[in-house]
């Protein structure tokens, strides 16, 4: 048994190791901050206060968290079936079109809670549609899903450019965006949630889609661990030969999994499009699809872990924005470096610490 397969107690696996990874990431980020002549402690303090200090900051943090939960779930569902979906970015982008079309069509006539279910379905359908062709190519033609989903990110980007600049733009306006949705096409702010903890939401865009994201976490958990479909996905993900022995059809599972994955990514659009800006804007996804990969990895592809790691990235996003505002020496790019460190240590270097921890654990427990 190499150290990678030595069983460790859950509190080490899911608690200690991620925590140490995180501390390492902050340590190295601190070094970088120190190297450019700022105080790392002050920076950390500013970051945390910016993200969690006031009701408005928390509102922003949870707003980002919401988007990352959706894209994290999207990546995780695919990974359970052994598929690496790099296309959540594009799927979310196209999902925005679905949500916007529903909102534009209904906001004149009905209140938001009538529009919402249709918008959820619209966003999911458009996201799923974006994943459908790569899925089909993988299932039937064996074209690698990583390559095709990346290609679709570009295709969707061009398509959305065209749609917004040529078709959806408000005549006579310069900005490539749709008209602003009426309240019937907007998701309400969760000011009461922040108020419950005695804060004020202020300008923060935290909205109803946060609750949708939490519901999706539960549904994904049920799907993966409590349904026959999830069982088939996991079998295929771990052992394709065992799946074929068990009569689990490869192309069927690949298709269904990718449609669900794309649908989840598509729903991410509800948050910025209907929750925050109340219109469809160009490039609104802003990299959340790619962050989803790190979120899923760090959350061990489990919904509970995804909530936690999405929250962490939410803190980094919001706190980082405040930090670059307060500390002139630290630019937006520096924040990206810090986020990169977290991704590096939490995701990619997960196996760096493990062997030594295993050895230490064996020594301490006398095994």
202/355 with CB nearer other proteins? 355
Using CB under 8 A, which of 229, 337, 349, 357 touches other proteins? 229
Among 48-56, 240-248, 278-286, 304-312, the segment contacting other proteins (CB under 8 A)? 240-248
- Say which residue the tokens 């460790």 belong to: 8
* Minimum CB distance to other proteins, residue 57 (Å): 41
Q: Is residue 301 within a helix (H) or strand (E), and if so which, with residue range?
A: none
Q: Token digits for 79?
A: 């990974």
Cα(50)–Cα(182) distance, integer angstroms:
31
- Say which residue the tokens 């899911």 belong to: 14
Using CB under 8 A, which of 235, 271, 318, 339 touches other proteins? 235
Using CB under 8 A, which of 180, 251, 356, 362 touches other proteins? 362
Determine, following the binding rule CB under 8 A, whether residue 300 of this chain makes contact with other proteins: no
Among 115-123, 204-212, 221-229, 275-283, the segment contacting other proteins (CB under 8 A)? 221-229
- The HSE-up count of residue 40 (CA atoms within 13 Å, CB side) is 12
Determine, following the binding rule CB under 8 A, whether residue 226 of this chain makes contact with other proteins: yes
- Nearest C-alpha neighbor of 62 from the set 185, 225, 193: 193
Among 153-161, 233-241, 261-269, 274-282, the segment contacting other proteins (CB under 8 A)? 233-241
Residues 246-275 that bind other proteins (CB under 8 A): 246-249
Q: How many residues bind other proteins (CB under 8 A)?
A: 26
Determine, following the binding rule CB under 8 A, whether residue 200 of this chain makes contact with other proteins: no
- Report whether 282 contacts 161 (CB < 8 A): yes
Backbone phi, psi, residue 282, to 5°: -70, 140
249/300 with CB nearer other proteins? 249
Cα(206)–Cα(191) distance, integer angstroms:
8
Report angle CA 39, 42, 48 to the nearest 5 degrees. Answer: 140
Cα(279)–Cα(99) distance, integer angstroms:
10
Q: Token digits for 220?
A: 């994904």
Determine, following the binding rule CB under 8 A, whether residue 215 of this chain makes contact with other proteins: no
Determine, following the binding rule CB under 8 A, whether residue 234 of this chain makes contact with other proteins: yes
Determine, following the binding rule CB under 8 A, whether residue 166 of this chain makes contact with other proteins: no
* Minimum CB distance to other proteins, residue 356 (Å): 12
* Minimum CB distance to other proteins, residue 120 (Å): 20
For residue 207, give the DSSP letter: B
76/273 with CB nearer other proteins? 76
Using CB under 8 A, which of 227, 251, 331, 356 touches other proteins? 227
240/347 with CB nearer other proteins? 240
* Minimum CB distance to other proteins, residue 227 (Å): 5
Determine, following the binding rule CB under 8 A, whether residue 301 of this chain makes contact with other proteins: no
End-to-end CA, the chain: 14
118/231 with CB nearer other proteins? 231
Determine, following the binding rule CB under 8 A, whether residue 142 of this chain makes contact with other proteins: no
- Report whether 302 contacts 108 (CB < 8 A): no
Using CB under 8 A, which of 84, 113, 245, 325 touches other proteins? 245
Using CB under 8 A, which of 118, 221, 231, 290 touches other proteins? 231
- Nearest C-alpha neighbor of 225 from the set 294, 304, 293: 304
- Say which residue the tokens 């608690």 belong to: 15
Q: Token digits for 60?
A: 């922003």
Among 27-35, 105-113, 123-131, 242-250, the segment contacting other proteins (CB under 8 A)? 242-250
Distances (CA, A) of 356 to 118, 145, 281, 344, 346: 51, 35, 48, 18, 16
- Report whether 49 contacts 322 (CB < 8 A): yes
- Report whether 193 contacts 122 (CB < 8 A): no
Determine, following the binding rule CB under 8 A, whether residue 4 of this chain makes contact with other proteins: no
* Minimum CB distance to other proteins, residue 229 (Å): 6
Q: Where do contacts with other proteins occur on this chain (CB under 8 A)?
A: 1-3, 226-232, 234-235, 238-239, 241-242, 244-249, 359, 362, 366-367
């Amino acid at each position: 048994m190499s150290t990678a397969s030595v069983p460790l107690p859950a509190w080490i696996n899911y608690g200690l190791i991620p925590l140490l990874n995180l501390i390492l990431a902050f340590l190295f980020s601190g070094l970088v901050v120190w190297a450019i002549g700022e105080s790392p402690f002050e920076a950390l303090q500013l970051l945390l206060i910016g993200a969690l200090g006031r009701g408005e900051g928390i509102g922003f943090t949870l707003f980002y968290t919401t988007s990352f939960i959706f894209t994290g779930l999207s990546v995780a569902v695919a990974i359970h079936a052994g598929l690496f979906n790099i296309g959540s970015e594009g799927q979310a982008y196209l999902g925005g079109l679905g949500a916007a079309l529903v909102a534009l069509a209904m906001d004149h006539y009905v209140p938001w809670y009538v529009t919402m279910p249709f918008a959820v379905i619209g966003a999911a359908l458009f996201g799923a549609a974006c994943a459908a062709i790569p899925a089909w190519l993988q299932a039937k033609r064996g074209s690698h899903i990583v390559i095709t989903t990346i290609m679709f990110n570009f295709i969707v980007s061009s398509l959305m450019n065209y749609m917004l600049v040529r078709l959806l733009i408000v005549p006579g306006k310069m900005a490539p965006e749709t008209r602003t949705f009426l309240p019937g096409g907007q998701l309400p702010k969760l000011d009461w949630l922040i108020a419950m903890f005695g804060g004020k939401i202020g300008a923060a865009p935290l909205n109803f889609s946060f609750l949708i994201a939490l519901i999706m976490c539960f549904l994904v958990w049920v799907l993966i661990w409590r349904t026959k479909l999830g069982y088939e996905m996991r079998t295929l993900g771990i052992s394709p030969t065992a799946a074929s022995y068990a009569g689990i059809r490869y192309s069927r599972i690949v298709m269904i999994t990718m449609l669900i994955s794309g649908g989840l990514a598509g729903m991410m659009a509800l948050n910025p499009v209907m929750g925050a800006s109340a219109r469809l804007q160009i490039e609104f996804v802003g990299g959340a699809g790619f962050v989803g990969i790190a979120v899923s990895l760090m959350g061990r592809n489990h919904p509970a872990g995804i909530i936690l790691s999405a929250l962490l990235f939410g803190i980094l996003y919001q706190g980082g924005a405040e930090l670059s505002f307060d500390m002139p020496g630290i630019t937006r790019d520096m924040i990206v470096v810090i986020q990169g460190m977290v991704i590096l240590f939490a995701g990619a270097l997960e196996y760096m610490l493990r062997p030594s921890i295993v050895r230490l654990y064996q020594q301490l427990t006398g095994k």
